[in-house]
Structure formats: C-alpha cells, structure tokens
Amino acid sequence: MSNKKVAVYIVSGNRLMRESLARIFNRRNDLSAIPADKIDLEFAKSLDKSCGLVALLDSPWAVLQEIATIHELLRPPSVWKIIVLGMEEESKEFVGLVRLGASGFLLKDASAVDVVAAVRAVTCGQVVCPAGLSKILFQHVIREENSKPAAKGGSGECLTRRESQLVDLVTQGLTNKEIASSLHLAEQTVKNHIHNILRKTGARDRLGVSDASYSRGVRLHPEDRDIAPVSTA
C-alpha cells in the first residue's frame, strides 16, 4: 500500500457521531477523517485517488435516500469504497445495499476497533459483513436460485464476455455514450450489443436486462476469454 493516508469520508447527519468518529480515525497514522453531514460529489471526486478513499455512511436509510449520488460516486473508474454503519441483524435493506456496491457493513453495536478494522479491510479490497447478514445473503441467493423460472422470451443463447460487461454497466445506470467511453467502443457498437442482450435475455428494456440475464440463467459463454473485464474498483 501507499504511504499516503486513507481518507475516510464520514457522512452523518449526527454531528456528535461524525466528530467522535473523526477523532478515532485521526489518532491512527494511516487514516485521515473528513467529517460531513452529506455527500458532496464535487469535493469527493476532487480527492487524491492514489490513496484509499472510504465513505463511511451512518445508516442504511441514509444510503438509500442518496442512491443516485452513490451511483455517481462509484461510477467507474472510481476507487471509492462504501461502508454502511448501523445495520440490523435482520436488515431488509441489506441485499439492496450489496447490489448498490457497498463493501462493508457494521451492526449498531460495532466498536471503534471494528470500524477502524473495516476501513482498513475494504481499502485492501476485502469485504466486511457480520455473520448474521452473511446468512441473509446466502438465503437470498438460494431463494433466487430455487425460484428461477424456465427461460421464456429469450433465444437461449449465452451472453458473450463483452455482453456480460455491458449488463454490469447497464445495471449501474450508464448510458450508451458512457458505456462506449468506458469500454473504448463506438456508440453504435454499444447499441448493437444492447440489442443482442435484449434478444438473448428476452428483456423488454434496459431496466429488465439485469433481472432477466440472471433470473433466467443466461450464461457467460465459456470460450469468451479474450476480453478483460472492466474494473469497478
């Protein structure tokens, strides 16, 4: 890792919480706290991307209220990591937060040591999740697998590696122009890929692409290994 400090963007509407957390992080030689009451995208994007950048958000509800902002914060080639504090053991929001791109989750009773360890872990590319929430994730995956309908409306063909890349980017809300720029493709080429994805998955539109491709079991072609995946780290 770089010798530069990890910047921890503490976002909380509770002044006492963000100032208390800031004191905890600033006592560590490898961490530097930036307390704020809300996410300022322009400021966040101006921070030095050569060091670790972690946004620490004080509740799942605060995250869900700022979905568009967080999507923008995590837009490739972002290096930001998201940690959500104040989770419940049986959180209904958990799976949605995973899909949104959060890397770490801490329960309401997490200690200062837990929070510091979580920041260091996600900066190193790890994910942090309490056992109770891990169980919810496993149960969700099993339910989805067991409830998969037979493929209908699609061609039954596998998605290519490139098409699978596009599914991920479409799910993140990127436009054709943004996808073209990210993958260094012509915009018309992206449109052609989207057309093929809709045909193969049987999805009606872009909003249905992600659900259709995964719930209907459309697979990545095993021989499509020539195109490297796009990093979203």
Please check whether residues 165 and 97 belong to one and the same domain: no
Q: 88, 121, 143 — which closes off a domain? A: 143
What is the chain written as a DSSP string? --SSPEEEEEE-S-HHHHHHHHHHHHTSTTEEEEEESS--HHHHHHS-TTS-EEEEES-HHHHHTTHHHHHHHT-TT--EEEEEEEE-TT-TTHHHHHHHT--EEEETT--HHHHHHHHHHHHTT--B--HHHHHHHHHHHHHHHHTPPPP-SS--PPBPHHHHHHHHHHHTT--HHHHHHHHT--HHHHHHHHHHHHHHH--SSGGGHHHHHHHTT--B-TT--SSPPPP--
Q: 115, 143, 171 — which closes off a domain? A: 143
Give the pLDDT confidence score for residue 212 in this predicted structure: 65
Give the pLDDT confidence score for residue 21 in this predicted structure: 96
Residue at 94 is within a domain = yes
Question: What CATH number is associated with residue 199?
Answer: 1.10.10.10
Please check whether residues 164 and 102 belong to one and the same domain: no
Residue range 75-101, pLDDT digits in tens: 888 999 999 999 998 787 888 899 889
Please check whether residues 109 and 224 belong to one and the same domain: no
Give the pLDDT confidence score for residue 30 in this predicted structure: 96
Give the pLDDT confidence score for residue 82 in this predicted structure: 96
Give the pLDDT confidence score for residue 140 in this predicted structure: 82
Give the residue ranges of the chain where pLDDT is below 70: 1-3, 146-156, 210-233
Please check whether residues 178 and 233 belong to one and the same domain: yes
Give the pLDDT confidence score for residue 160 in this predicted structure: 84
